[in-house]
Structure 1
Amino acid sequence: MEEVCPICNGLSSYMVRCPHCQEAMMARGPIQDYFDDYSPYLDQGITQQVDGVPAHQCLHIFYCEKCGADRRVPINTILM
């Protein structure tokens, strides 16, 4: 069995409200995709070591299109 992120693997979606204007925020992907141009292509074992959350979580960015706020949300991985 392996731990996988339900959002990264298309198994579920999350609804996050903007803390400023209460609009629904758009999921923009895991934070490690934004480290540099090549980070989306690196092995997750490498990039998860620097995202600042425990190994059983995947840190995702959510963005509010109305007010421009962003929020980092740790998503618990699931066993598959």
Structure 2
Amino acid sequence: MYTYLTTLLTGQYQVACEIEPTATLAELGLDSLLVAELGADLQDALDVPIEDGDITLSTTAEQLAALLEAKGAKATQ
């Protein structure tokens, strides 16, 4: 799931830096609007429920991958 997320973030969200597991979404350059868009995109692509507050600017890449796995998401790539 972590690999799927890094591919999504560097591709669709144009995160230009290497994504460390402990990097927060804010540190990767996302703002609150992009975090909301990311949540909606992940919900649609992975068919998992993403609730308000599940993903915040302080969520790390590692935490997001774990959250998605806990919700039963399977990477599509």
TM-score of the pair, normalised by structure 2: 0.28
The structure with more radius of gyration = 1
Q: Which has the higher contact order (CA 8 A, sep 6+)?
A: 2
TM-score of the pair, normalised by structure 1: 0.27
Q: Choose between structure 1 and 2: higher helix proportion.
A: 2
Q: Choose between structure 1 and 2: higher strand proportion.
A: 1
